[in-house]
């Protein structure tokens, strides 16, 4: 029984990056032997175990065989005679197909260290084409590391799209990879890779339409601007989609099964982004309309997120941001309870509070 650290932990360590999780491959063992040594089985499709003390994942070395379209269509074979090299060969990219033994020696049968040094994303074997999720992963790694895609890998991804493999992707996996890519340092690189291989039109047609409308530069600049500010996922997602029509945003979010927080902020950005971008020119009534539409009284944090998404990448956004904040703070300072006590009906209370807020905005922006 031999144990190796594999995959991302080896890659990130070689890049000088923090290692978040360590995955291990075990060669020459069986499920029964792992259990006898105190490991707890957790894998459903193939034998994966949790270490009895560290709770890190240990997987038996395995090979895989394509049995049906999509990323679910695989049969796995784990046995004591499966070698480390065979296990590494089934991985997506050479930079993820390296291992270290207990003494720290690097095992690199597919020259991942060379590609890591040259900043190249290259597939390990033709089996790459059997899993369409790998297209998304390549695009995400390009956004994370600012690496280029090897020509032969690019050609293979194009062929996969043409063969319909991308059509087998399910919403949950697309969103999972998309969300991770949006949180990378240069998320626009992910979309560039997806468009170059044709996957964008199949998987994210609404975003692909931005290119046809010559709005991609604005959308991607806004997205990268939010990334530079270390903003949250929902803000980045909304900044990307703010140039779309609300109907297109709704369709994309439904297709991706996007979380409600991401969907809601993206819809607000699509509906009110232009008004917010013109915030420096808005009068009190227009400012009031934007604040009410965004439910800024009850959800001030979300309104601030909406401003960040709508103003991201706009060079002269400072004046609009300041005017909107002044208006919001002034209206928020109105004591609705005091105003309500001067009224006799619910309708009159609502109208009186609105008028008081509007008056406060008028005074604040003079």
What digits encode the pLDDT tens for the residues 206-247?
A: 999 888 765 667 889 999 999 988 789 999 999 999 999 999
Distance CA 63, CA 80 (A): 12
At residue 71, the pLDDT reads 54
Residue 65 lies in a domain: yes
% of the chain with per-residue pLDDT over 70: 95
- Give the CATH number for residue 63: 3.30.460.10
At residue 89, the pLDDT reads 94
Question: 44: Cβ–Cβ under 8 A, 6 or more apart, which residues?
Answer: none
At residue 337, the pLDDT reads 84
Is the pLDDT assigned to residue 103 strictly greater than 80? yes
Sequential DSSP letters for 227-276: HHTT--HHHHHHHHHTTS-HHHHHHHHHHHT--HHHHHHHHHHHHHHHHH
Is the pLDDT assigned to residue 197 strictly greater than 90? yes
Is the pLDDT assigned to residue 74 strictly greater than 80? no
Residue 176 lies in a domain: no
- How many domains would you assign to the chain? 1
Sign (positive/negative) of CA torsion 314, 318, 319, 323?
Answer: positive
Residue 272 lies in a domain: no
Is the pLDDT assigned to residue 72 strictly greater than 80? no
Residue 358 lies in a domain: no
Residue 158 lies in a domain: no
Question: 135: Cβ–Cβ under 8 A, 6 or more apart, which residues?
Answer: 157, 160, 161, 165, 166, 194, 197, 199
Is the pLDDT assigned to residue 65 strictly greater than 70? no
Residue 104 lies in a domain: yes
Domain that holds residue 43: 1-113
Answer yes or no: pTM beyond 0.75: yes
Is the pLDDT assigned to residue 69 strictly greater than 90? no
Q: How confident is the model at residue 291 (pLDDT cuts 50, 70, 90)?
A: very high
Is the pLDDT assigned to residue 70 strictly greater than 60? no
Residue 51 lies in a domain: yes
Which of 233-242, 291-300, 327-336 is most confident?
233-242
Residue 70 lies in a domain: yes
Reported as a single tens digit per residue, the pLDDT across 135-184 is 999 999 999 999 999 999 999 999 999 999 999 899 999 999 999 999 99
At residue 312, the pLDDT reads 92
């Amino acid at each position: 029984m031999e144990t190796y650290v594999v995959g991302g932990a080896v890659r990130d360590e070689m890049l000088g990056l923090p290692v978040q999780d360590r995955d291990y491959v075990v060669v020459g063992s069986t499920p029964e032997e792992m259990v006898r040594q105190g490991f707890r089985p957790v894998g459903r499709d193939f034998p994966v175990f949790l270490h009895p003390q560290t709770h890190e994942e240990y997987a038996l070395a395995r090979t895989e065989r394509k049995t049906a379209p999509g990323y679910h269509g695989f049969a796995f074979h784990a046995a004591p005679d499966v070698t480390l090299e065979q296990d590494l060969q089934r991985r997506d990219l050479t930079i993820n197909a390296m291992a270290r033994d207990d003494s720290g020696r690097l095992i690199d049968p597919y020259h991942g260290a060379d590609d890591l040094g040259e900043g190249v994303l290259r597939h390990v074997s033709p089996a790459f084409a059997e899993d369409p999720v790998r297209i998304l992963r390549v695009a995400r790694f390009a956004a994370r590391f600012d690496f280029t895609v090897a020509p032969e890998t690019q050609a293979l991804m194009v062929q996969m799209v043409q063969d319909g493999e991308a059509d087998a992707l399910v919403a949950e996996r697309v969103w999972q990879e998309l969300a991770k890519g949006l949180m990378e340092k240069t998320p626009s690189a992910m979309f560039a890779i997806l468009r170059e291989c044709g996957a964008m039109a199949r998987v994210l047609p609404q975003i692909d339409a931005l290119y046809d409308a010559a709005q991609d530069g604005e959308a991607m600049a806004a997205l990268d601007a939010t990334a530079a500010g270390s903003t949250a996922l929902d803000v980045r997602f909304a900044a990307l989609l703010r140039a779309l029509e609300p109907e297109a945003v709704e369709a994309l979010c439904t297709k991706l099964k996007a979380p409600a927080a991401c969907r809601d902020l993206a819809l607000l950005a699509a509906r009110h982004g232009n008004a917010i971008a013109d915030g420096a020119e808005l009068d009190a009534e227009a400012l009031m309309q934007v604040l009410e539409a965004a439910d800024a009284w009850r959800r001030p944090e979300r309104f601030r997120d909406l401003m960040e998404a709508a103003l991201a990448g706009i060079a002269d956004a400072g004046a609009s941001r300041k005017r909107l904040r002044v208006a919001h703070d002034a209206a928020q300072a109105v004591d609705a309870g005091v105003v309500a006590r001067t009224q006799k009906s619910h309708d009159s209370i609502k109208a009186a509070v609105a008028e008081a807020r509007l008056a406060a905005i008028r005074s604040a922006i003079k």
